[in-house]
Amino acid sequence: MAVPNGTRPERQSGMSKGAKPRLIRKLGCLELYQASLHVLGMYCGTSVACTYRIPDKIASTGEEALEAALNTAIAQTVLQYPVLQVGIYKEDSRRPSYMQLDTVDLNQHVQWKTLESEDDVDAAALETLITQIDTKFHDIEARPPWRITVLRRRGSQAVEVNFVWHHALADGMSGKMFHETLLRHLTGADDGSVTPGESRILDVSGSAKRFPPPMEKMVKYPVSFGYVLSELWKEVRPPKAGSAADQVLAHWAPLQLQPPETDIRRVRLSNERLRIVLAACRQHNTTLTGLLHGIIAVALSSLLSKKQAPGFLAKTAMNMRVLTPASGSLVPKETMADIVSVVGHTFDPDATAAIRSKIETAASESSEQSRRGTLAEAIWASAVTARQDIKKVLDQGTKDNIIGVMGFVPDWRDHGRSVAKKPRDSAWVITNLGVIDGGLSGEDGGACIRRDDNWHIEGGTFSINAQTTGAAISVCVIAVKHRELVLDVCWQRDVIDSRIAEGVAQATEDWLTYLGTDGPRT
């Protein structure tokens, strides 16, 4: 299928012909990192897709009314966030910049696709998703690097809006923010005075006035001398086979620098079971993110031998808005931008050996309940440790955070090429976007109802392009309030062993289902 802003059509600039580029600012340290991955073909796109329920009054009117309502809401949303209005100037350089454009033509960014009634909507949506996140953005000096696919089965009262963007513009929480804002405009909660008109061309010439600063300018990221030395040593130390640092690397998933093609296995958990799982997490002094780390640590310890993986490194993407205070007109929790960092988790050989010991003990148990109980001990122990890692980072605030040392890298393209020659470090990463309020009200027993005959979100997914030099397996988590939890397990096709990735996904589904079932649980 054709991909808006992904192919190379005749150039139609959003800048006045012959005009000198109007640069807004240089990319910040995390933005530079993300831009380098895109330039090197190591990462393409990020997606948050939501399924919207169409109000009766619009569904009964016809396609034109639906398109008009969505086009207007998309236009209002784009005009609300400056990062959706700019190009990236000289991306393939040491210090690219954001540049102001005069216009954004929604015809170049929004694609509508109608399925016939007999088509498999879920299969078509997944195929569309993978195509979108695996396709690079082009002409990004002329057009902002984001795109939307609107997918609807003919006659259906549901429509999927898939928002895909370049990670140098914004982080995962921004994708969630996009849909929350789009829903407000659809329901008329915000002023609907702006309409794109038949040409669907938006005037964005004032974007520079409200453009957010890089995250390291929103709040200070102080670093100690010891932390700087430690991080620099990690970058330059010569590899030593069998060392403690070497034993936790993902040698079982060697890097292959080929265009990243993504495979996805989707895991769903009902709202009823999710509530039980969250209660169990609270009982064990951890969180859903911590629990997922515990499940994956046990799953990989079972799927891989001690020789293949004596230990593991894992990561959690952390929303830094919680540590970034509002200042003047800048309100981080309402700002689309890259305001994210990572927390590292080390499952050293001793910790991993302890997990494998529990796995061996469980295998000898005579009953399924006993086997589950023994494995659950290992899962919850790892879940608590992962939560403690996250809490430690939150407690220390912005001090000695990786963001604080990223500015020492002179050229992130060179850094990316250097990383590509080393073993992969992380086995998995978890990014949890939390809950979207889709306009549904809860009732006793966890049922949900529509608040009125208006737009609401019925479901959502969060997905990323396979990371060529990043974690071998990415687990992307999102839920709609009073609806199901969805996890997309993503990996690089023909590079990461699908048996291992599928095994992680299956274990995650099995354990969440088991722990989310009413009754006594270990």
Residue 372 pLDDT > 70? yes
Tell me phi and psi for residue 400, to 5 degrees. 50, 50
C-alpha angle 435/184/77, rounded to 5°?
A: 100
Neighbour tally for 368: CB within 10 Å: 8
Q: What is the b/e burial string over 134-153, where b = at least 16 CB atoms within 10 angstroms of the residue's CB?
A: bbbbbbbbbbbbbbbbbbbb
Bridge partners (DSSP) of residue 149 are 111, 162
Structure tokens at 111: 């694609």
State how beta strands 46-53 and 456-464 pair: antiparallel
- Provide the pLDDT confidence category of residue 216 given band limits of 50, 70 and 90: very high
Structure tokens at 253: 């998933």
Domain covering 23-213: architecture: 2-Layer Sandwich (3.30)
Query: How many whole angstroms separate alpha carbon 405 and alpha carbon 314?
Result: 20
pTM: 0.93
pLDDT, tens digit, 9 for 90 and up, residues 142-201: 999 999 999 998 888 999 999 999 999 999 999 999 999 999 999 985 555 556 556 689
- Provide the pLDDT confidence category of residue 236 given band limits of 50, 70 and 90: confident
Angle between helices 288-303 and 368-395 (to 10 degrees): 120
Contact 428, 472 (CB under 8 A): yes
pLDDT, tens digit, 9 for 90 and up, residues 443-473: 544 455 555 578 999 999 999 999 899 999 9
- Provide the pLDDT confidence category of residue 226 given band limits of 50, 70 and 90: very high
Contact 208, 87 (CB under 8 A): no
Q: Which fold has domain 216-437+463-516?
A: Chloramphenicol Acetyltransferase (3.30.559)
pLDDT, tens digit, 9 for 90 and up, residues 35-71: 999 999 999 999 999 999 999 989 888 888 999 999 9
Residue 224 pLDDT > 90? yes
* pLDDT at residue 448, rounded to an integer: 56
Residue type, 118: E
Where are the alpha helices (H) located in 284-348, listed in sequence order?
288-303
State which H helix or E strand residue 366 sits in. none
Query: How many whole angstroms separate alpha carbon 99 and alpha carbon 416?
Result: 24
pLDDT, the chain, mean:
92
Domain boundaries in the chain?
23-213, 216-437+463-516
Query: How many whole angstroms separate alpha carbon 474 and alpha carbon 431?
Result: 8
- Provide the pLDDT confidence category of residue 311 given band limits of 50, 70 and 90: very high
Phi-psi region at 449: left, alpha or beta (left = phi > 0; alpha = psi -120 to 50): beta
Domains 23-213 and 216-437+463-516 share a fold: yes
Query: How many whole angstroms separate alpha carbon 213 and alpha carbon 25?
Result: 8
